[in-house]
Structure 1
Amino acid sequence: MKILIVDDTNTDRLLLKMYLLKLGHQVVEAVDGEQAIIQYIKDANELDLILMDVQMPELGGFEAVNKIRSIQESRNLEWVPIIFLSASAEADDIEEGIRAGGDDYLIKPIHQKVLSAKMLAMQRIADMRHRLILANNVLEAQASTDHLTGILNRRALETVLDREVARSKRFASSFSFALFDLDHFKRVNDEHGHDAGDYVLAEVVKRVSEGLRSDDALGRVGGEEFGVLIVNCVGKTAKEACERYRQLISEKPFYYNDIEMNITISVGCVTFNVKEDSRESIYKKADVCLYEAKRLGRNQVVYKESS
């Protein structure tokens, strides 16, 4: 485990560090409550355990842990177990420690066998915690990813779009949003089968992804329709970006089991108006532009300034 030791007494801290290193753990140190908070913020995603002395000058252990738990909650960080270390065995002190956010309480001086046993128990908890974090990450990825193409699904794209809307309103900046879909895609499924259709969708995503900048976001919003968030890009440059996506699809045929297919897309793009637009309104405006591109003959980009 990676363990943060917090103790203002050098001999106690160094002795504890020696014990833990002997048990095979990695140790980081802090000499007071303030330094503990700084160290926690730095290593929050890597720490498996905090050993916190109670009696320290200025910011005591209880207060430091209270602040650490507040940081965890406000920043939505993963819970990390905390054990208090104290020379006091008073029931009131133990109760206060647990109420302050501690998970266990060890009485100084700490016997090596007791410490070894506690670390074994904490290792089990750390292993379980890591498995839960991994499982949650997998579930979150599944919930936000389109299973066929591997890009964002509609809900995840709308979440990203919400964040960009909030950022733009806060900093009075702008961005563009585009919707595109595959022209006459039903013919692909009808003439060549759904496997061919799935291949085309995946290949379209692959080609468009090659033209995306690192900060932009691509998502599948349903069927053969996709959305692209184009950050810090408006006007002519936004339209040029959409033209690039269109050309990446149309410039080369698609081949599936020796079947040659020529695929094109229609694109509707609009720039976000900081004063007037919301996520819903810019989505609708991009949709209107998309249908205009189709009405004008497909395989083209219709871009409009949001108004």
Structure 2
Amino acid sequence: MAWVILIGALLSHWLGRSLDQQFVKVLAPIFRHQARQGSGKASLYAVPSLATSVILELNAMVKLINSRLLRVNRLSLELEDMNAKLEKSRQELHHLSTTDPLTGCYNRRELVRRLEDEIARANRQESELSYLCFDIDYFKRVNDTYGHAMGDAVLLNVADTIRSRLRATDCFCRSGGEEFTILLPNCSSETGRNYAELQRLGVAEAVTILDGTAVQVTISLGLSTYSPGQDDAEALMARADAALYASKENGRNQVTVG
């Protein structure tokens, strides 16, 4: 925005100087006439008859002014258009820097930022915050058996299935290859567990179809809940990761609360 204001100021300065020069040029004969009359001072009440050439020059100056005003207006519109495009580019860049391109989920960088914000909010409001992480079970086997195109299709289908059951306040992130995280503001451990079970069942029932081949997967989940003043972000994530590991060790396709 600063450069737009600077360009506008420069255009205004240039136009003002240009018009001033034109007025001086046209009015010079009047001042010279009065000087010859010995007044020594220009007066608006002693203006001589204007020669045809002066009238034509005034007319030309008016046309020049109108032309330059039109040009300034056109430049202003172009600057507004450029500013709108820059703002759109800024928004697109922000989206790219915070979003996973395949699934449309937030990326790990945004997860860290959002987690800090949600913990600060939980501390202010003295509310609970649940942290739910999950992995797709045997995802490497999907890639090895059906190829990476099917693997991508499974990732997208799982993300869409989870997304369809998100609350408006939830923050859904892809934190790794087949690893995902959901931040659940104002969510107790019991509510979070029920929510995790709902998501687990939804994924287990979903079917991914690519080129006539159907694949079903399951997920293992780990849940931890933040209580103001009791732990921090690192402890919250560590407990959820440990719970996820326990889900895998105990047979997968289940929820463990840490």
Report the TM-score, using the length of structure 2 for normalisation: 0.72
Aligned residue for 1:245? 199
How far apart, CA to CA, are the structure 2 residues paired with 1:174 and 1:119? 55
Aligned residue for 1:295? 249
Structure 1 position 278, deviation (Å): 2.4
Q: Secondary structure at the match of 1:211?
A: coil
Q: Secondary structure at the match of 2:143?
A: helix
How far apart, CA to CA, are the structure 1 residues paired with 2:231 and 2:11? 48
User: 8 Å contact 2:127–2:227 — kept in the other structure?
Assistant: no
Q: Evaluate the alpha carbon distance shift between residue 275 and residue 253 of structure 1 in structure 2; reply closer, same or farther with a 3 A threshold.
A: same
Over aligned residues, Cα RMSD in angstroms? Answer: 2.5
Picking from 230, 234, 242, the partner of 2:184 is 230
The question of 1:195 aligning with 2:149 is answered yes
Structure 1 position 122, deviation (Å): 2.3
Counterpart residue identity of residue 238, structure 1: G
The question of 1:269 aligning with 2:232 is answered no
Picking from 73, 78, 100, the partner of 1:124 is 78
Higher RCO structure, 1 or 2 (CA under 8 Å, sep 6+): 2
Counterpart residue identity of residue 230, structure 2: E
String of CA shifts for 1:15-57, please: whole Å, max 9, x gaps: xxxxxxxxxxxxxxxxxxxxxxxxxxxxxxxxxxxxxxxxxxx
Q: Secondary structure at the match of 2:102?
A: coil
Aligned residue for 2:91? 137
Structure index of larger Rg: 2
The question of 1:281 aligning with 2:235 is answered yes
Q: Secondary structure at the match of 2:230?
A: coil
Q: Secondary structure at the match of 1:150?
A: coil
Q: Secondary structure at the match of 2:248?
A: helix
Aligned residues with identical type, % of pairs: 35
Aligned residue for 1:177? 131
String of CA shifts for 1:91-141, please: whole Å, max 9, x gaps: xxxxxxx8xxx996798xxx9847655433322221111111111111111
Q: Evaluate the alpha carbon distance shift between residue 133 and residue 236 of structure 1 in structure 2; reply closer, same or farther with a 3 A threshold.
A: same
Q: Secondary structure at the match of 1:222?
A: coil
Bigger share in strand: 1
Counterpart residue identity of residue 117, structure 2: R
Q: Secondary structure at the match of 1:219?
A: strand
Q: Secondary structure at the match of 1:124?
A: helix
Matching of residues 9-28 of structure 1 within 5 Å = none
Aligned residue for 1:54? none
Aligned residues: 207
Counterpart residue identity of residue 250, structure 1: A
Counterpart residue identity of residue 145, structure 1: T
Structure 1 position 169, deviation (Å): 1.6
Bigger share in helix: 2
Deviates more, 1:168-177 or 1:287-296: 168-177
Q: Evaluate the alpha carbon distance shift between residue 275 and residue 128 of structure 1 in structure 2; reply closer, same or farther with a 3 A threshold.
A: same
Structure 1 position 82, deviation (Å): 6.0
The question of 1:214 aligning with 2:168 is answered yes
Aligned residue for 1:163? 117
Q: Evaluate the alpha carbon distance shift between residue 168 and residue 258 of structure 1 in structure 2; reply closer, same or farther with a 3 A threshold.
A: same
Gaps of 5+ in 1: 1-77, 84-97
Report the TM-score, using the length of structure 1 for normalisation: 0.61
